[in-house]
Structures are given as C-alpha cells and as structure tokens.
Structure 1
C-alpha cells in the first residue's frame, strides 16, 4: 500500500512537471539564478542570515545613518572629486512640530500659503539638513528597487515626494521607503502649464518640512549616478542651484517667445532649459511665491511654447541669476532627432557606459572650481534596465548587499506567472 501511494505521488509530480512544461523549467532556472546571485552578496554573512528572520536581516545589515564628513565615500574616492566638499553647515531653524499630511484637500493656493507661513515660523532644533527627492511620474516607479539601494541607510538625510497621475491606484509595500510618500496630485499634460503646477506642488509640499534644504526633480525613468553620500555632499555643500537657463537663438528657443509678454518679459529675458532641476531652499521659496511671471506664462505660453522648458529658466534669469549655475545635473542624451531624448535599454547598461556619463562630459564649474563631475542623475532608462543596474550596483554605487526587497521584486512576478 505504501509503495502504491509512493508511486501515485511520483506520477502526480511527473504530471505536474510536464503540464507546466517550459514554464516550470524557466521557474527552476530563475530560482537557481536568484539564489546564486543572492548568495554572492550574502556569503560573508551567511551564518547570521540563517540565525535571523528576514525582518531582522533587513535591519541588521542596514548601515546606521551617518552625518556627512568632508571626505567622499570609498567607492568614488578613486575618481575625480568636486572641489570644496566640506562639512555641511549647521542646521537651519525649523518650524514648530506641525504636521500637514501629504494627501490633503488643500488647493494649490492654500498649499503655497501654508508653505510660506511655515517658512516664517521658525524655532531652533537640531535636525540635520535633508535633500528632498521629488518624483514627477505618470504612475509606478519601475526602478524603485535601485533607488531603495541608493537610499538605504541614509533615511534621516532625505525626504521623498511622489506626484503620480491622480487615477493611479497602486501603492508600495509598507516596508518600502516610498510607502506613504504620495502627495495630492492633479493631471499633468506634456508642455502644458499643468507641468509647472506639478513642479510647484511638489516644491510646496517639500517646503513644509524645514529640514529639507535641497530639492531635486526626478522622473520614473531617472537613475542616480553616484552613491548617496557623494550625491548628498555635492548638493548640500553647493553654493548655487542647478537650473538649465540658456539664451537659445534658434526657433526652439527665442522662436517660442510671445511678444505679448512684454514689457514684463522681453526677448532679452527669454530663456530655455531642461525641465529637470535642483534648487536650494531660498530659490524654492522664490519659485512657489511667484505669481506675476507664472500668470504671464499661463496666459501667453502655448504650444509650440512649452512651459516646462521656459518658465523656470526665464524666471531665474530675471529674478535670481546670482543663485543659479545655469546648468543641469541630470544627464539626458539628445543624439536622436525628435521632441524626446534617447531611451536607454538593458543592452546599453555597462560599467563603461555609466563611467562615460559620470565623468565623460566636458568639465563644469562647482563652487568656483572646475570639476569633471557634472551630473548626479541620468534619464531616460527603460524598466528593463533594472536588473543590469542592480547587478553592477556594488561597482558603481558601492552597494554592499542585495536587499530582500529587491530579490523578491524579481521573484514575485515569476511566481505569479506559474501560479506558485
């Protein structure tokens, strides 16, 4: 009887394997690949992993948040470094402990009023400076596992704000650093004033936290080019903000100027630049408080005039030229013709390619000194670049381990595919 049962059980297993056919073998292959990849990163700590739960491992292996010192981290220390990366200045005063939820019913006007009010209600505290990472997206952030590795261990030095389309309903796991960071959003249309509205909305929400001192705008297709400490040092210690602002005499530059904006905005004031910016707190406050130039753009800048390419560039040129570097820190490849930049796919991702983006550009000025380190971020990267980016993460970003969140990010879709 036992032999019969054993034979029946074997037949069931055989039928299961053959019924799943190639999907079963694909699953076995990918599980083995993932286990091998996982072990490569955890080999030195394997004994401790056996003795602890997944939750304990995630917290035990996370490096403690540290305040940034004057030296760059080891992974990037062999590369040319920007000058004057010194100790961060002492914290600015921050407002009373007033919490306004990210998801609220305030209008944009009320939100900006609150941000301006809190900016003037300061009391001293000892909170370290933070960098606000503002994601302007259409929906999901496919490269979020890479950003998780980038942020891990530095949570006290950063804030995250996500502006998706309001119809987007998905969310992040509760243990993700992106969880609960969505702000009240409105529909955004390419080139329209709604794009500027979204940028100002992100800035206003981030300004509610007075610990945020630098503000960087990113998309779902952006990636970091250096590890967090290098990026943080570069931004916190910078004397200027980074808004691309150029006097472009071509049709796609001055050709988009509307004379009806005069005399408040003249053709000599008109500027063009990349949408993706980074600003300090003072400039961020100046941007959200502007009504005069915002209203002119809203009334007179219509296609082929694109608000996101001209509003900030022109505003900062008129009001705050001394605060701006006139360059962007987000790399984009415009080698292809058309209105959109080149999109990078998985076959493009190599150490050589990323090195060329990180240090292959013409030197630029940082704190009055020349540096080859001109870009901190890059876009546009397709979702299928995630795996190769994670694989080379230790060599480019200095990742010391592969997060369980990242591992399961790859395994869950496979398990769903074969109904495991």
Structure 2
C-alpha cells in the first residue's frame, strides 16, 4: 500500500505533498502588498503634513500681517485726513459715551495740516418735520463750505427733503426727548458732539423747527466767526422760576450763588462746546437733582458756563423770543403777525447789547416762535428785505 502511494506521488509530483510547505509566490505577493501599503501611507502622511504646514503658514501670516489691515485697507479703506477732519456721513453706531470721547479729542499741534475755513454748525433740535426748511435752504444757498447742518429728531422720524436741500442726509443718531427733562440736555450734547467731529466747525448754534434767521447768511456768518465770545444767557433770578428750582442736594459742588438761568437757545465757540461735552461731573448732578420741574435745559449750560467759563460768554442770547404773555411757552406768530414792520422790530428793537465788548444795536440774529402757516409770507418778506 505504501509502495503504491509513493509511486503515485512520483508520477503526479507535489499535488498531494506529504508535508505542506509555503509557496514562494505567496511570500512575494505579501511583500508586494506590504510595499504598496507602506508607499500609500507615506504619500498620505506627506500630504497631511503639507496641508498642516500650509495652514500653519497661513495662520502665522494672518497673525503678523492681517489681510484686513494690509490688503483691504490699502485698497479700499485708506485712512485720510479728509475723512478724519470732515466726516461725509453722519450715521454711526457709537454710543453717547463713545461719541463724546471721540468728539472731545483735541490736537496738540495748533497749525492745521489742511486749508481750514471756519464753518458755522446749525443744529436743529426738533421732534419731527422742519416746516421752514425751504426758508433755510434759501438762506444757505451759495454759501457751501461755510456751514454745516445737523438735525436731532425722534429716532423713528425720517426727514423727507430733496437731495438738493441742505438738510438732506443731515440727521444724526438720536434718542427719545421729553420736554423739561435731562433728555433735552442729552440731545443738545449729542448735537454738539456730532458737530465737533467736523474739525472745521468753529461756531455752534442751537435752533428749533420754529426758528428763522432775521439777517442774511454773510451778516450772520461774519457776526459769529468774528466774535470773541460765545452767546450763552446766564442770570441770577430770585424767584420760584429761578432760585426756586435749585436743589440743596447739589451742595457743595453747586452752591445757590452758582445757580443760573438762561435761554436754551445758545451759540458756542468750539472751545466752550468741547468743555460742555467733556463735562460729566456737573451733568450727573443735574441728572440726579434737576427734576421734574427744574427744567435742566434752562439751567445746566447757564450754570456750568458761568461757574467755569464765564469770561468766554457775552452773557446773552442771539435768538429773539416773546415771553411777554403768561405761560410756560413763548408766543407763537402766524400769518396775521408776519409783516415787514414786525421783522424790522425784531432786527432793530431799540435795545443795546455788547459785541466784542462794544455796544451794538444788532443783538438778535434769529427769532422764534413761528407757526408753519407763516412760511409763504416769510419767504416773500425775506426776499424783499433780507436779500436771500
């Protein structure tokens, strides 16, 4: 039996080996697969390493050479002296705190690095429409570059004027305002701060929607720009409407003899405007203790300016108003009142005041309070007697 098996094995080779052995081809195949796997792993590793190095290089470059700073700004958002000293657009997202800080930056170098022509900032504090915008547009026409316009209205109000109007695009970011509250002072300081962003603004006039000019632009511009003083009315009144509004809680920072009253409608030189926007200490005292019938808009600036900057003010207002009638509001004038004699009476009311420490009969440059219905008559009168 064994003999026959050996014989069969010799005849048919190793098809049925008695002891199994590794085939040399199987080993070769395994070696090839190992090389393939190794090569694939090496390629994959190098690829991942290259991507990581590229990422690291990109992050390092962005850290030390930011794209926004060195690419975007260089191409599209360059800083320029023009945009800094004369902002084109009034819209911004600054808080009042940020705005006031930005507005009170003062350059240490007195010489301007550009051709600065002093401008007058006309600041309108209103709740809504400006019925006398056509009159003011006629007043401003032809004097571009010598004035700026700023409008503080209710936040939800959009002033609808043509692109040709001096009021177009001149609304500033605003907040709600309540009559007789500290919010009126907030609005005044907000107007001043926005106007201070333009370094060419030298004089700052606060006006209402019921105000009109009673002289032409060249006369008013020359009067304000050449004045050595600001025009802030500030006086001591021993009455319930004067000293009676003082709160003893203001002591000792504000004493009774410091307390002053005056017209809300002021005109300021740039230096005094910066000081008022800068002040927080006395503003905080007023915000705490000048309410609800204290009327901080009639006392804060008159008191503050008298305490610290009295020498900078002519101590009078340049806005005429009629308080001869009883009540908390001045008289309002409509169509039946608008005559040439009436305007002349405002311009030459036989009173004398000081201008640059000398007596003058020109005391009022603006007047209020006029009803919207008076617009057409005022336009007719101003073209005849005020030359605009």
TM range (shorter): 0.7 to 0.9
Q: Distance in 1 between matches of 2:107 and 2:170?
A: 21
Residue equivalent to 1:105 = 93
Residue equivalent to 1:160 = 149
Residue equivalent to 1:180 = 169
Residue equivalent to 2:8 = none
Residue equivalent to 1:275 = 264
TM-score by length of 2: 0.77
Q: 2:369 aligns with which of 380, 383, 386?
A: 380
Q: Distance in 1 between matches of 2:386 and 2:116?
A: 26
Q: 1:117 aligns with which of 105, 113, 127?
A: 105
SS at match of 2:224: helix
Is 1:133–1:218's contact at 8 Å kept on the other side of the alignment?
A: yes
- Over aligned residue pairs, what C-alpha RMSD do you find? 1.5
Q: Distance in 2 between matches of 1:228 and 1:253?
A: 35
* Offset of residue 303 of structure 1: 2.0
Identify unmatched segments of 5+ residues in structure 2. Answer: 1-79
* Offset of residue 361 of structure 1: 4.0
Q: Does 1:344 align with 2:330?
A: no
Residue equivalent to 1:241 = 230
Q: Distance in 2 between matches of 1:218 and 1:270?
A: 24
Q: Distance in 2 between matches of 1:227 and 1:309?
A: 28
Q: Distance in 1 between matches of 2:187 and 2:324?
A: 28
Q: 1:313 aligns with which of 290, 296, 302?
A: 302
Larger of the two Rg values belongs to structure: 2
Greater relative contact order: 1 or 2 (C-alpha under 8 angstroms, separation 6 or more)? 1
SS at match of 1:181: coil
Deviations 1:142-173 (A, max 9, x none): 01111011000001100000001112134211
Is 1:329–1:375's contact at 8 Å kept on the other side of the alignment?
A: yes
Q: Distance in 2 between matches of 1:355 and 1:224?
A: 12
Residue equivalent to 2:23 = none
Q: Distance in 1 between matches of 2:367 and 2:293?
A: 26
Deviations 1:256-315 (A, max 9, x none): 000110110000000000100000000000000001100000011002201100000000
TM-score by length of 1: 0.71
Q: 1:212 aligns with which of 182, 193, 201?
A: 201
- Over 3 Å counting, the alpha-carbon distance change for 1:272 and 1:153 in structure 2 is same
Q: Distance in 2 between matches of 1:339 and 1:96?
A: 45
Matches within 5 A, 1:323-334: 323-334=312-323
* Offset of residue 124 of structure 1: 2.0
* Offset of residue 95 of structure 1: 6.2
Deviations 1:178-227 (A, max 9, x none): 10001000011111010000000000000001100000000000000100
Residue equivalent to 2:253 = 264
